[in-house]
Structure 1
């Protein structure tokens, strides 16, 4: 949920709660005032009737639909006015309506009179309904005004923040162009931009240093490794070494080659993670796959593999062409390496996928092998599948693995 929508939603909820509470208070006070006015009206009417009774006005002339006066011997309501709501049948409307009633007993001379006075509540109730409707319309209009004004004002206020986000989204770490953030008249946004500028400057500085360090290490290590390898090759070709010395030099030579491969693998991983490879549009992966298969033809023949190839679909994908070679060659090399001699190897393409099948007796591999330095055997460097995983994540390629009937299946979905 967007920040602007979220804050507006909170304003709406808070406003609704406030309006409900305020409406309840207004209606309660208004209803209380109406009740007091009706009660005063009933008291005034009762005082007039009492005065008329004192002046010997006949009961027949005083009794009507809204007031009933009778002589009584009861003293239950003597000088104690009682107010209550009741319903009465209206002959004209042929329906029952709500009324407020005042009942009191008065002594006039030697006689007691039971006085009941009624006032209709139709008009007050109708008035309250009209007030509620008016309040609802006013509150609804005010709420709409608050929502619209909040959206417009917040959109203008938060515009610099959105511009900062857009700038960060388009900023490339390896770019030599410095990040530019616009100044605003809001102090907090200016402070945010200053912090972001300082952070990106530091990150860029560290990135350049790391990149230079990686390139220097990769270059400098290869030279002494090449010297050690040549020296070992020269010593291995002489006849002056005994068996123990030959074994020691062979171990040095093997580990030298291994270290060289590790160096190249780590350098490649570092470049991938730092975004050193530029994206190319519509790289023809089918052509890259065909060229890599031809490159490994000799290895396939040496292991006497039953090789099946079905790469008739043209697959285009936006990625770096060098990393496309690395990705597909790793899959082919791993499939050849882990297929027993005389086994079956199959490479097939679909409309949007490339699949690699190879037979193997070791069972289903552990998915931990996709992490760096996890090895399937002692001869593995533990970097191949890690490089594959990095490339797949970088270019949104879905990688899946399955094992069935002694056959490993790797699938790349583009």
Structure 2
């Protein structure tokens, strides 16, 4: 996921991990008379609760979470320190490995499976939240339930979509976004031939999250998978994979050449500068465009990823909340998360985030205040998680599928081919070898 702003690590974590200090959000409060105001077991008693969170480039998201944490801290006699970092995943890995540092962490994708034995069991809390809000989407359970126990709370997912220029596509005869991948190749060809800004879907190791969103989604929509449903048998070397790679080759041939070198911010910058006609991303490009490039914002919209031979399939970019097992403040941490997942707080986050934080609770789909119900440019994003999958699908989310994602095996399979570093057959065989080391080794 692209980040245009970020904050660094807390001073405490910088000292513990030997990394440079950055900006920490410290939120301090207590009861009016200086005594605990919370229920038994959840008062901080003047202590600090610390968390390492995902950075967003929508400032309102940080500001809102700061206010929410301050409100909770005021009732629980302590401080809450939330650090928002662009490299939050790497920093969380360091905290987990050292078994020291923050009490809380915002996990990504399948990380609950990687770190399961070092996370607090939050089953009771998750089941209670689900019961009150219409139940969880299946993909939320896939991401956070390990061996029958919830190891993280599925906070939300980032709805990846096609951010596209309606005016440019209109000039080449498309009044709606292409509904299939082959139709997208046709549109990309027309844009190139008309010498207009081109299609530019990131497929680069330097832009791992944006690239993975397209790579997995395209692969699945052609009926290809990295592993069988048993979660053990590697299946990437197939005719379906060859068809998906061929489609990507055809699309890349008529796309902007930068697609094989974009980092997580490069496609955003190009889109906002009017240099490209479409790219995959969260709706955060639109948020930024309204402030920095209003003419672009006026002439853009959002669409689900195209369909393949087996329909529309999509990787879900998950954000979940976990408590590290080394924390000395487990009960206050659970109370804080319970508060964040209450309707008032979660609704406010979803409204501010414009689908960057989309709840994984079914009860939110029909709320009139949700972005997909209140903004016509987002109306196609309702219930996007219903057809979504975690890395490793159709196998179960697992430590192995998380490792394959972190290795960028599927992304690199496509990237090697479109950059000319390997033929399709060579790249597929390389991916197969890498996956066998993870799943079968």
Structure number having the greater strand percentage:
1
Structure number having the greater helix percentage:
1
Q: Which has the larger radius of gyration?
A: 1
Q: Which has the higher contact order (CA 8 A, sep 6+)?
A: 2
**TM-score w.r.t. length of structure 1:** 0.20
